[in-house]
Amino acid sequence: MKAGRAVAPSRREGAFLEVFAAFLRLGVTSFGGPIAHLGYFRSEFVERRKWLDEASYTDIIALCQFLPGPASSQVGIILGMLRGGIAGALAAWVGFTAPSAIALIAFAYGVGALGDLSQVAWLHGLKIVAVAVVAQAVWGMARNLCPDRERATMAVAATLLTLAVPSALGQIGAILAGGAIGRLLLPGSSKEAGAPLAIPVGRGMAIASIALFVALLFGLPALAEATADRTIALISSFYRAGSLVFGGGHVVLPLLQQAVVPRGWIDNDAFLAGYGAAQAVPGPLFAFAAYLGTAMKSAPNGWIGGLVCLAAIYLPSFLLLIGALPFWGELRHRAGVQSALKGVNATVVGVLLGALYTPVWTSAIFSPADFGLGVLAFLLLVFWRAPPWAVVVFGALGATVLAMVK
């Protein structure tokens, strides 16, 4: 099989609208942060729509954990790409990101007059639903990817490591260790572990994409300094943030604060207000870039500035994914790589289990009532097969009722 030429039966041409509609619905309802997003994606595209199998999905998660940028958004971009090519990747990104970006742009224009949304009951209910979503993902993935005591032990070890080292370093270290142990101890196979990934780009495009990524990473700061152009400086700052940050949205916040506050582009109070609003919207936290661009004190600002910053912070993810996927699609079918992937997949389950406790559980479950609502949401998702959007509504209404009767 040549890289960039594999064709999976799940991919079809002209899927832009299908991909966009699926991810737009998730962009409206996917609260709970990147780990919860992975749970929503698994429920929607592995279990319900069957666009790919469990092994391929966890392989994609593993790849995105190795790359800088927003891991859950990158998983979504790959899912869209496998379904509908480059256009599908754009459809997935726009659909998943647009709701939160629009909400945060609106907030920057003055929606902050509505007050602090961080303590409202319905938002707390959505956080509880996120616990159930992640628990469902761990439940289903553990059954498929940790079927023996060796891999179950690796998953538990990964959980302990990520709890002991609660950072991107702990997650990446656990996955690297899982791959190394799997390569040494777990049996491989010359057969394919899952359905071939339909990769719509070849090696030439991949190499060009990586070259462009590097050129922009080093060239934009030099160009901004040489021209003293504020637009180029803005693009450079947000591109660098998207290029160098591992661990997702929360990790990028200090880098963004350092980039925009000391320069006087936005004051610290406005920065923190936007960060608070970002916790109350669904979708990726990287959409916070849209708020910052909109709230800038001088041009480019407003909605144009918001879109510029949003595009700049996500551009590295597109370039890196296009650069990595053709080679990943070839390597994942080699026996030795499959052995490593078995270990990686087991440790991904452990990483998710650790994330289920913190930050997902610790930010949502504060009382027996919260726990009871989470158990009911888990019951609806796992045993009643209720659609995630319906469980989101149930969680919001349930938490509102509980707040009223307290």
User: Do residue 83 and residue 139 come from a single domain?
Assistant: no
User: Do residue 59 and residue 175 come from a single domain?
Assistant: no
Q: How confident is the model at residue 118 (pLDDT cuts 50, 70, 90)?
A: low
The SS3 call for residue 24 is helix
User: Do residue 100 and residue 81 come from a single domain?
Assistant: no
* Domain contains 294: yes
pLDDT of residue 9: 40
pLDDT for 189 beyond 70 = no
Whether this prediction's pTM lies above 0.85 is answered by no
Number of structural domains in the chain: 2
pLDDT for 55 beyond 60 = yes
User: Do residue 266 and residue 340 come from a single domain?
Assistant: yes
User: Do residue 59 and residue 154 come from a single domain?
Assistant: no
| Percent of the chain topping pLDDT 70 | 88
Q: How confident is the model at residue 96 (pLDDT cuts 50, 70, 90)?
A: very high
User: Do residue 250 and residue 304 come from a single domain?
Assistant: yes
* Domain contains 280: yes
Inter-CA distances, 339 with 194, 196, 204, 270, Å: 13, 17, 28, 49
Out of 11-25, 77-91, 122-136, 192-206, give the one with best mean pLDDT: 77-91
Q: How confident is the model at residue 81 (pLDDT cuts 50, 70, 90)?
A: very high
User: Do residue 90 and residue 128 come from a single domain?
Assistant: no
- HEC profile of the chain: CCCCCCCCCCCCCCCHHHHHHHHHHHHHHCCCCHHHHHHHHHHHHHHHCCCCCHHHHHHHHHHHHHCCCCHHHHHHHHHHHHHHHHHHHHHHHHHHHHHHHHHHHHHHCCHHHHCCCCCCHHHHHHHHHHHHHHHHHHHHHHHHHCCCHHHHHHHHHHHHHHHHCCCHHHHHHHHHHHHHHHHHHCCCCCCCCCCCCCCCCCHHHHHHHHHHHHHHHHHHHHHHHHHCCHHHHHHHHHHHHHHHCCCCHHHHHHHHHHHHCCCCCCCHHHHHHHHHHHCCCCCCHHHHHHHHHHHCCCCCCHHHHHHHHHHHHHHHHHHHHHHHHHHHHHHCCCHHHHHHHHHHHHHHHHHHHHHHHHHHHCCCCCCHHHHHHHHHHHHHHHCCCCCHHHHHHHHHHHHHHHHHHC
* Domain contains 56: yes
pLDDT for 299 beyond 70 = yes
* Average pLDDT estimate for 349-362: 85
From 43, 49, 17, 19, select the one nearest 30 (Cα to Cα). Answer: 43
User: Do residue 65 and residue 158 come from a single domain?
Assistant: no
Q: Return d(Cα 377, Cα 121) in angstroms, integer.
A: 16
* Domain contains 3: no
pLDDT for 185 beyond 60 = yes
| Percent of the chain topping pLDDT 90 | 42
User: Do residue 249 and residue 397 come from a single domain?
Assistant: yes
Contact 232, 223 (CB under 8 A): yes
User: Do residue 279 and residue 205 come from a single domain?
Assistant: yes
* Domain contains 7: no
Inter-CA distances, 138 with 281, 304, 380, Å: 24, 40, 16
Per the listing, tokens 């009951």 go with: 121
Out of 33-37, 97-101, 337-341, 381-385, give the one with best mean pLDDT: 97-101
Q: What is the mean pLDDT of the chain?
A: 85
Tell which of 94, 128, 158 closes a domain: 94
* Domain contains 24: yes
What are residue 283's phi and psi, to 5 degrees?
80, -170
User: Do residue 55 and residue 152 come from a single domain?
Assistant: no
Range of the domain at 315: 95-113+120-192+200-405
pLDDT for 193 beyond 70 = no
Tell me the per-residue pLDDT of 252-270, one tens digit each, with 9 for 90 and over: 776 787 788 888 898 877 7
* Average pLDDT estimate for 167-194: 78
Tell which of 94, 128, 160 closes a domain: 94
* Domain contains 1: no
Q: How confident is the model at residue 10 (pLDDT cuts 50, 70, 90)?
A: very low
pLDDT for 36 beyond 80 = yes
pLDDT of residue 355: 81
Q: What is residue 261's DSSP assignment?
A: T
Contact 209, 102 (CB under 8 A): no
pLDDT for 183 beyond 70 = yes
pLDDT of residue 166: 81
pLDDT for 2 beyond 50 = no
* Domain contains 238: yes
User: Do residue 128 and residue 35 come from a single domain?
Assistant: no
